[in-house]
Chains A and B, each alone.
Chain A
Amino acid sequence: MEKYDVVVIGSGPGGYPAAIRAAQLGASTALVEREAVGGTCLNWGCIPTKTLIASSDLFARMNAAGELGLSAEGTSYDYAAIVKRKGKVVARLKGGLGQLLKANKVDVITGTASFAGRNRIAVDGKTAMEAGRTIIATGSCSAMPSFIPSGKRVVESRAFLDMTGLPGSMIVLGGGVIGCEFACMAAQFGVKVTVVEMLEDILLMLDADIRAELRKHMEGRLGIEVFTGAPLVDIKAGKTGVNGKFGDRTLKAELLLASVGRLPVTNGLELERAGLATTDSGHIETDSLGRTSVASVYAVGDVTAGSTQLAHAATAQGINAASDACGQRVPRAEQVVPACIFTAPEIGSVGLTEREALESGREVVTGKYSFAGLGKAMAAGETGGFVKWIADAATDQLLGAHAVGPHATELISEATSAVAAEMTAAELGRTIHCHPTFSEAWMEAAHAVHGEAIHQPPRRRK
């Protein structure tokens, strides 16, 4: 039987970095994957969706190019070609990842892993290897509750990505990150989109100002109908379309995209043979370094309880877990995790929302700055949205940052560094920012925390 120091189960953004890290630290490492290296993120998540969104975004800009003095008459798109390009991007990344794993001497084993014992891993039911340490990184899959009928006109995100054509109309069930990203992308391609969210608003975890701004753009500019605060009921799926009831209204569309959440993948792992139990929701409980209740078993990413369902959080966890598994002390896991949402406009967010900060019992001050006030934004013709700092009134500490608008998913990284380093608003304001750039918004907003933004009329302070 093969013996490995570290066996990683699942090769997504949590698993493969863990395997590479373990190999870097000199551990003999195996990576067991039942489908495709890269996991959901690379194959059916982050990467393919961003490829489609790149096309839809440019298409939207082409259609608005007149504002910049360009003429783009009779624009059109070939969705099949766009999907084909997506396939190529994914294939290329997958190939690169395979080589990277090989170069690091990680043995990639194809098959479904399960525990045969605390330190024994079976692949496809046959005991295959002894594992000094095991890192579970099996991720999550789309939830499909039974009230959603199955049928050709009902898809979840993974099936949607394989479609070679877009419907004329679409109901997106669930106004979370995945639902809103697909809704915006499809709407940019001209699909008539309706979003239904049971909770009081879409993307409820976001700062309220950011949510309001996004919803304004989705409804106003993209023409997406957004219904919130009640469930879609009596959902029926036929051969050519779907319909359901939201209150008194009957909603109809050619396609229903179900994006009502994701479930951890633990079935088939035979966790009980390792002496591990899951929570009622099927998640594995861990500490901040991914350690489970069994000393030799770690878990990272979406499969863990309290997961943020963010690829980059899984990566950080995976690296920490691998380091710890290889005996390298990790002083503490970084707790500041930024979030990015590729809607139109984009959203970036890190740290506390204004409400969370207030609920933590602090006195809170905020500073906001609109892209409309920036020379670069005007020059680029991208003036929608704003950035917002949340700061502690007592210590001036930057507790959170939120951006909605052009390049927000890139812009959030500067704010992440500032929040992670516990910078103060005054320090960030003193930091010299390139002119003219979108990043200047952070500097202006930091000044605005103290009511001292240069390019903003003085506001009356409370």
Chain B
Amino acid sequence: MPKLGQTVEEASIVRWHKREGDPVKKGDVLFEIETDKAVLEVESFYDGTLLKILVREEETVPVSSTVAFVGEPGEDIPEEATKPAPAPKQPEPKAAPAAAAAPAATKPAAPVVGATAAAPSPVAAPAPTAQAPARVFISPRARALAREKAINPDGIHGSGPNGRIVARDVEKYLADKGYGEIRISAAAKKLAIREGIDIVSVRGSGVSGRIMVSDVERAVAEKPKKMSRMRQVIAQRLTESFTTTPHFYVSVSVDMTDLMAYRQVLKEQGGTYTVTDFIMEAVVLTLQEFPVLNSVTDGKSVRWYGSVELGMAVALDEGLVVPVIRDADQLSMMELHDAARALAGKAREGKLLPDEMMGSTFTVSNMGMLKVESFSAIINPGEAAILAIGSTGETPVARDGRVVIRSMMNMTLSADHRIVDGRMGAEFVNAIKDKLEDVALWKSMT
């Protein structure tokens, strides 16, 4: 398993491109791996034959583990290396294979596909999440019985030595669950055995509740599937943030009418600024007035960041990525626009590098194009706040005692209450609002 940089400790194999016994040429893609940040292809360093695969698809191992052997057909493979792949966090196996057999290629290829990952973080990367499933001790007879009956033995209480599940435990489970009452078609049972479905948990739709193939097919479709590494990391980080950071929210609605009109003028002159560009620029300017919003706390100390590293959330089919505009406070409006456009393009093509998604200090999440009026975002770990932008739409509003139609946009700040108070949050969002409503400001900047 190639080393993938300073922070990556483990990776899982997504897919083997070669099978045992296949000839391998130097430069051939041997397998694909996935880390919490990216999917990469790994090429062979050597010519030869793929003798033995030690780490199967979907298994996760520490970097520098031996995952396979390439050598001459018939060559001996060191015995200890053929043992099952080590669980994560265990010492890696001796990677000194016999002279004749070379360790499988380890050169990390350039990221090639879907190199996307979860929100960046200036704090320590989360601990690896993959765990080997708790091993179920079960006698061969009990296992065979469970299989024959199309039930899942994992949850059965074992009464044998060391809690081992023995045949009578399976029999007791069957009796307790009223197994004898279950009616199931022969084909449905075969399918259940094949797909590892416990028929005790399947509701039958046939006559008198008989379990039919369609019922088992539904259970198969409902079977929990492992999430991608990327999704798991998103889950872990957002849970951590939402459960450990006391969020509070303030919303304002912004009159975008004049800015939209000005943008139209710019557009006719060939300008390409997006609404997001104006919002991000307003945020960058305001963050410099309110440095507390550009900080992070652990509850005991607070760290003010010296620059604005602006995260911009980009929705992809497979999840959310947050590329980071570096030193956004040092950029001109045009530079900010260019940087944002380049990152968004890379994100959609799946070409973001892990480094481009790390180290943001404040994040803007714009769902305006997704037709929502307003929403609240979860603060990225390592930041003090996040700004959620809704869509801009024509709205009747009161102006000078009259109802007029204006283009209104809602934005909601989520802030960490440990360092940001309500008053500061309110002042911050109003400062952004004031800027967005001040066309003179934009005329001076574009």
Q: Check A395–B187 contact: CB distance below 8 A.
A: yes
Q: Check A422–B205 contact: CB distance below 8 A.
A: no
Q: Does any Cβ of B come within 8 Å of A392's Cβ?
A: yes
Q: Check B187–A397 contact: CB distance below 8 A.
A: yes
Q: Check B207–A422 contact: CB distance below 8 A.
A: no
Q: Which residue of A lies closest to B190 (CB)?
A: A395
Q: Check A424–B207 contact: CB distance below 8 A.
A: no
Partner of A424, one of B187, B194, B205: B187
Q: Does any Cβ of A come within 8 Å of B186's Cβ?
A: yes
Chain B residues whose CB sits within 8 angstroms of the CB of A421 once the complex forms: 185-186
Q: Which residue of B lies closest to A335 (CB)?
A: B214
Interface size in chain A (residues, C-beta < 8 A): 13
Given A331-B205, A331-B207, A397-B213, do A422 and B185 touch, yes or no (CB 8 Å)?
yes
Q: Which residue of A lies closest to B184 (CB)?
A: A422
CA–CA, A10 and B205, complex, Å: 32
Q: Which residue of B lies closest to A421 (CB)?
A: B185
Q: Which residue of B lies closest to A394 (CB)?
A: B194
CA–CA, A180 and B296, complex, Å: 82
User: Chain B's nearest CB lies how many Å from the CB of A443?
Assistant: 16
Chain B residues whose CB sits within 8 angstroms of the CB of A396 once the complex forms: 186-187, 190
Using a CB-CB cutoff of 8 Å, which residues 394-424 of chain A contact chain B? 394-398, 421-424
Q: Does any Cβ of A come within 8 Å of B191's Cβ?
A: yes
Chain B residues whose CB sits within 8 angstroms of the CB of A395 once the complex forms: 187, 190-191, 194, 213
Q: Does any Cβ of A come within 8 Å of B212's Cβ?
A: yes
Q: Which residue of B lies closest to A422 (CB)?
A: B185
Q: Check A422–B194 contact: CB distance below 8 A.
A: no
Chain A residues whose CB sits within 8 angstroms of the CB of B207 once the complex forms: 331
Q: Does any Cβ of B come within 8 Å of A462's Cβ?
A: no
Q: Does any Cβ of B come within 8 Å of A427's Cβ?
A: yes
Q: Check B186–A427 contact: CB distance below 8 A.
A: yes
Q: Does any Cβ of A come within 8 Å of B101's Cβ?
A: no
Using a CB-CB cutoff of 8 Å, which residues 227-273 of chain A contact chain B? none
CA–CA, A392 and B194, complex, Å: 13
Interface size in chain B (residues, C-beta < 8 A): 12
User: Chain A's nearest CB lies how many Å from the CB of B194?
Assistant: 6
Q: Does any Cβ of A come within 8 Å of B188's Cβ?
A: yes
User: Chain B's nearest CB lies how many Å from the CB of A269?
Assistant: 34
Q: Does any Cβ of B come within 8 Å of A332's Cβ?
A: yes
CA–CA, A395 and B188, complex, Å: 8
Using a CB-CB cutoff of 8 Å, which residues 196-223 of chain B contact chain A? 205-207, 212-213
Chain A residues whose CB sits within 8 angstroms of the CB of B186 once the complex forms: 396-397, 421-424, 427
Chain A residues whose CB sits within 8 angstroms of the CB of B194 once the complex forms: 394-395
Chain B residues whose CB sits within 8 angstroms of the CB of A427 once the complex forms: 186
Q: Check A397–B190 contact: CB distance below 8 A.
A: yes
Given A331-B205, A331-B207, A332-B205, do A423 and B185 touch, yes or no (CB 8 Å)?
yes
User: Chain B's nearest CB lies how many Å from the CB of A287?
Assistant: 15
CA–CA, A83 and B213, complex, Å: 48
Chain B residues whose CB sits within 8 angstroms of the CB of A331 once the complex forms: 205, 207
Chain A residues whose CB sits within 8 angstroms of the CB of B185 once the complex forms: 421-423
User: Chain A's nearest CB lies how many Å from the CB of B249?
Assistant: 44
Chain B residues whose CB sits within 8 angstroms of the CB of A424 once the complex forms: 186-187, 190
Q: Which residue of A lies closest to B205 (CB)?
A: A332
Chain A residues whose CB sits within 8 angstroms of the CB of B188 once the complex forms: 422
CA–CA, A348 and B286, complex, Å: 79
Q: Check A397–B191 contact: CB distance below 8 A.
A: yes
Chain B residues whose CB sits within 8 angstroms of the CB of A398 once the complex forms: 187
User: Chain A's nearest CB lies how many Å from the CB of B357?
Assistant: 37
Chain A residues whose CB sits within 8 angstroms of the CB of B205 once the complex forms: 331-332
CA–CA, A136 and B206, complex, Å: 27
Q: Which residue of A lies closest to B213 (CB)?
A: A422
* Chain A 357-401 interface 0/1 with B at a Cβ cutoff of 8 Å (1 = within): 000000000000000000000000000000000001011111000
Chain A residues whose CB sits within 8 angstroms of the CB of B212 once the complex forms: 422
Chain A residues whose CB sits within 8 angstroms of the CB of B206 once the complex forms: 332
CA–CA, A331 and B209, complex, Å: 9
CA–CA, A422 and B185, complex, Å: 6
Q: Which residue of A lies closest to B211 (CB)?
A: A422
* Chain A 420-457 interface 0/1 with B at a Cβ cutoff of 8 Å (1 = within): 01111001000000000000000000000000000000
Chain A residues whose CB sits within 8 angstroms of the CB of B190 once the complex forms: 395-397, 424
CA–CA, A332 and B206, complex, Å: 8
CA–CA, A201 and B191, complex, Å: 36
User: Chain A's nearest CB lies how many Å from the CB of B219?
Assistant: 14
Chain B residues whose CB sits within 8 angstroms of the CB of A332 once the complex forms: 205-206
Of the A-B pairs whose beta carbons lie under 8 Å apart in the complex, a sample of 28, sorted by A's number, is: A331-B205, A331-B207, A332-B205, A332-B206, A392-B187, A394-B191, A394-B194, A395-B187, A395-B190, A395-B191, A395-B194, A395-B213, A396-B186, A396-B187, A396-B190, A397-B186, A397-B190, A397-B191, A397-B213, A398-B187, A421-B186, A422-B186, A422-B212, A422-B213, A423-B187, A424-B186, A424-B187, A424-B190
Given A392-B187, A396-B186, A422-B187, 6 more A-B residue pairs with CB atoms under 8 Å apart are: A395-B187, A395-B191, A395-B194, A397-B186, A422-B212, A423-B187
Give chain A's interface residues, CB within 8 Å of chain B: 331-332, 392, 394-398, 421-424, 427
Q: Top 9 closest A-B pairs, CB basis? A: A397-B187, A422-B185, A422-B187, A395-B190, A424-B186, A395-B191, A427-B186, A395-B187, A422-B213
